[in-house]
């Protein structure tokens, strides 16, 4: 009998220890969960506030883009994409991998917002033939134009409306995360964060009307303006005792002339198929020798074309003409052509 009593007492002790251990684990787990949610709320509150600022910028941009010029519009689009991307990266650090957990769903909210803003920029750029501006400190692409994927008004409308649907879904996910965090251990609080305050703005009909305004905007109209920034000769012109006739350069005795040209795009769109023609004609009469170079020039940028070589004879004169074949839509031809008479000095 005494042995059974001893075993019963021992069993009670073991059960008590187990219950106490489980209670301790539960308390520790509750504390851990509370700290986790409080940490998420602390970091998430900063990100939510930043996201709300970006959301206001996007709503303003969507409603007023037809009033801007192309450079300002592109800069604004690039800015909101950068902001949303930074916020998405911060949310991933705060919430972890985008999965079914509370932290993961929090991360997915900001990832979807960044994706939606990128889609908006791509749609507008495709509609207008624009592209993101170069980032300061990043090496240039060698003057090659990054031709955008051009979109019709219908395609742009569909993509912008799809971005709105993605934003609406992110708002819904954020509300559920916010509610769950508030009801979990620690009762942490996340601020409200809403991107779609008026769902009608993102509906296809409203977006189509806005796209029409953008397409008909005079301030966003594409302008084509290629110019010859510089035309240089090798060998260089000689200094002369008397001033040569206007438009004439006296060169030292040589059998070859190299022509170097800097081509600039002063228009508002890239010129992926810029064409420059070089012609050297013996004087007073003779058959011209012609070279044609093609290049891609980014809007606002300049590139140096490959050297063009011409054979010449000492003691002879030639007329050099360098001219841009302007795009069909270019109306201002100032700076698109240079003509120079090259007087090659006779050999000694």
Q: Kindly report, residue by residue over 251-285, the tens digit of the pLDDT.
A: 999 999 999 999 999 988 889 899 999 999 999 98
Token code pair at residue 194: 């809403």
Provide the 3-class DSSP secondary structure of residue 292.
Answer: strand
Share of the chain above pLDDT 90, in %: 65
**Predicted pLDDT at 23:** 46
Report how far residue 48's alpha carbon sits from residue 41's, in angstroms, rounded to the nearest whole number: 10
Mean pLDDT of all residues in the chain?
A: 87
- Tell which wins on pLDDT, 149 or 118: 118
**β-strand partners of 143:** none
User: Would you call the peptide bond into 5 cis, given omega within 30 degrees of 0 as the criterion?
Assistant: no
Question: What's the mean pLDDT in 100-129?
Answer: 94
Question: What's the mean pLDDT in 53-81?
Answer: 95
**β-strand partners of 304:** 262
Provide the 3-class DSSP secondary structure of residue 119.
Answer: helix
Residue 243 pLDDT grade (very low, low, confident, very high; cuts 50, 70, 90): confident
Report how far residue 203's alpha carbon sits from residue 21's, in angstroms, rounded to the nearest whole number: 57
**Parallel/antiparallel/unpaired status of strands 248-251 and 337-344:** parallel
Q: Kindly report, residue by residue over 276-290, the tens digit of the pLDDT.
A: 999 999 999 899 999
286: closest CA among 209, 348, 341, 225?
341
Residue 113 pLDDT grade (very low, low, confident, very high; cuts 50, 70, 90): very high
Q: What is the DSSP string of 166-207?
A: HHHHHHHHHHHHHHHHHHSTT--------S-S-GGGGSHHHH
DSSP state of 218: S
For the cut 50, the answer to whether the pLDDT of residue 3 exceeds it is: yes
Token code pair at residue 79: 């800015």
- Helix or strand (DSSP H, E) at 319: strand 317-325
Phi/psi-derived region of residue 234, left when phi > 0, alpha when psi is between -120 and 50, beta in every other case: beta
Any idea where the domains of the chain sit in the sequence? 2-216, 226-344
What is the residue whose two structure tokens read 């005792």?
241
Report how far residue 14's alpha carbon sits from residue 242's, in angstroms, rounded to the nearest whole number: 116
Residue 11 pLDDT grade (very low, low, confident, very high; cuts 50, 70, 90): low
For the cut 80, the answer to whether the pLDDT of residue 12 exceeds it is: no
State whether CATH 3.40.50.970 applies to domain 226-344: no
- Helix or strand (DSSP H, E) at 14: helix 2-64
Residue 30 pLDDT grade (very low, low, confident, very high; cuts 50, 70, 90): very low
Q: Kindly report, residue by residue over 183-238, the tens digit of the pLDDT.
A: 776 668 899 999 999 999 999 999 999 999 999 999 999 899 999 999 999 999 98
For the cut 90, the answer to whether the pLDDT of residue 46 exceeds it is: yes
* Residues with Cβ within 8 Å of residue 285, at least 6 apart in sequence: none
């Amino acid at each position: 009998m005494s042995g059974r009593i001893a075993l019963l007492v021992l069993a009670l002790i073991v059960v008590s220890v187990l219950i106490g251990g489980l209670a301790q684990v539960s308390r520790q787990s509750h504390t851990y969960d509370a700290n986790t949610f409080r940490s998420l709320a602390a970091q998430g509150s900063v990100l939510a506030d930043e996201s709300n600022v970006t959301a206001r910028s996007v709503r303003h941009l969507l409603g007023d883009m037809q009033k801007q010029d192309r450079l300002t519009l592109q800069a604004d689009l690039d800015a909101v994409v950068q902001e949303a991307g930074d916020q998405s990266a911060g949310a991933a650090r705060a919430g972890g991998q985008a999965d079914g957990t509370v932290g993961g769903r929090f991360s997915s909210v900001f990832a979807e917002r960044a994706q939606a803003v990128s889609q908006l920029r791509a749609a507008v750029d495709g509609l207008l033939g624009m592209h993101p501006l170069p980032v300061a400190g990043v090496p240039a692409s060698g003057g090659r134009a990054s031709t955008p994927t051009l979109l019709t008004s219908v395609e742009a409308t569909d993509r912008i409306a799809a971005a709105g649907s993605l934003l609406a879904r992110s708002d819904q996910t954020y509300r559920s995360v916010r509610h769950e965090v508030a009801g979990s251990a620690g009762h942490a609080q996340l601020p409200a964060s809403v991107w779609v305050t008026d769902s009608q703005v993102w509906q296809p009909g409203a977006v189509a009307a806005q796209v029409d305004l953008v397409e008909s905007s005079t301030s966003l109209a594409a302008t084509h303006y290629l110019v010859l920034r510089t035309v240089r000769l090798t060998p260089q012109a000689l200094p002369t005792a008397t001033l040569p006739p206007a438009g004439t350069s006296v060169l030292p005795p040589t059998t070859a002339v190299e022509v170097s040209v800097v081509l600039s795009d002063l228009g508002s769109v890239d010129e992926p198929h810029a064409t420059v023609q070089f012609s050297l004609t013996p004087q007073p009469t003779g058959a011209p020798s012609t070279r044609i170079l093609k290049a891609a020039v980014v809007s606002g940028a300049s590139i140096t074309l490959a050297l063009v070589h011409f054979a010449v004879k000492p003691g002879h004169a030639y007329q050099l003409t360098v001219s841009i074949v302007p795009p069909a839509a270019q109306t201002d031809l100032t700076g698109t052509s240079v003509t120079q008479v090259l007087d090659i000095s006779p050999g000694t």
